[in-house]
Structure 1
Amino acid sequence: MKTTLAERLKSARKEKSLSQKALGEIVGVSQAAIQKIEVGKARETTKLTELARALEVRPEWLSSGEGDMRQTEPSNIRETRLKAGVWEDMEHDQDEYVEIPLLNVSLAAGDGSCELEESSEFGLVFRKYYLKKLGVPESSARVVRVIGQSMEPTLHDGDVVGVNMQETTIRDGKTYAICQADLLRVKTLIATPSTVIIRSINRDEYPDEVMDREDFHKNVKVIGKVFWSSHSW
Structure 2
Amino acid sequence: MGGRLTYSRIEKGWTQHQLAAAVGTSQAVIQRIEAGKCNHPRILSELAEALEVNPAWLMFGVNVIEGLEQEAIETARAWSRLMEPQRTVLKEMILRIAESGPESVQLPESGVLETSQLLGLR
Percent identity (aligned): 34
Alignment of 1:66 onto 2:34: no
Structure 2 unaligned residues grouped into runs of 5+ = 100-122
| TM-score (normalised: structure 1) | 0.35
Q: What are the superposed Cα offsets for residues 158-213 of structure 1, whole Å, 9 maximum, x if unpaired?
A: xxxxxxxxxxxxxxxxxxxxxxx6xxxxxxxxxxxxxxxxxxxxxxxxxxxxxxxx
Match of 1:219 among 87, 93, 105: 87
> What's 2:72 paired with?
104
Moved over 3 A (4+): 107-111
Distance in 2 separating the partners of 1:27 and 1:105: 18
| TM-score (normalised: structure 2) | 0.62
Which of these two proteins has the greater Rg computed from alpha carbons?
1
- 1:106 CA drift (Å): 2.4
Distance in 2 separating the partners of 1:103 and 1:50: 17
Distance in 1 separating the partners of 2:67 and 2:78: 22
> What's 2:35 paired with?
39
- 1:105 CA drift (Å): 4.8
Distance in 2 separating the partners of 1:17 and 1:29: 18
SS of the equivalent of 1:106 reads helix
Higher relative contact order (CA 8 A, sep 6+): 2
Which structure features the higher share of helix residues? 2
- 1:32 CA drift (Å): 0.8
Distance in 2 separating the partners of 1:72 and 1:64: 17
Q: What are the superposed Cα offsets for residues 77-116 of structure 1, whole Å, 9 maximum, x if unpaired?
A: 9xxxxxxxxxxxxxxxxxxxxxxxx961526748723xxx
What is the RMSD of the two structures over their aligned residues, measured on CA atoms?
Answer: 3.0
